[in-house]
Amino acid sequence: MGSFQGKTYDTKEEAEEFIKEAISTHTVVIFSKVTCPYCIQAKRALNSNGIKYHVVSLTGRPDQGVIQDVLLNMTGARTVPRVFIHQKCIGGGNETSALNKQNKLKELVSEKPENGQLDLPA
């Protein structure tokens, strides 16, 4: 694996802006690490439905800790993957897999929430 070559974020404010831009620009976003088995699980669930997604790889990023701290504040978890659909975090690998088994992933991606809220199954 090569070293990270992109822009890095030193403050939580910069990292939060980066995260918000990513999740507002793309319908589905996964914050991921290359060798993480739960990240692979989430990607497989999305791939099995033909869902296109944007990956923000934290592997090798010098600012991965800052980004994960912001994800903790935003989502309640610091672990990866953090999967967002229409700017709402649906959880990690297990939650994405469970939604796939319930045949809910395509529905969540195709529904455009009017009030910014996804109707996630309990």
Share of the chain above pLDDT 90, in %: 83
Class for the domain spanning 12-107: alpha beta
- List the chain domain ranges: 12-107
Determine the pLDDT at residue 111: 86
Determine the pLDDT at residue 1: 42
Q: pLDDT tens digits, residue range 71-116?
A: 999 999 999 999 999 999 999 999 999 999 999 999 999 987 665 5
Complete edge-to-edge strand list for the sheet that includes strand 28-32: 54-57, 28-32, 82-85, 88-91
| pTM score above 0.95 | no
Strands 82-85 and 28-32: antiparallel
In single-letter form, the type of residue at position 56 comes to: V
Average pLDDT, the chain: 91
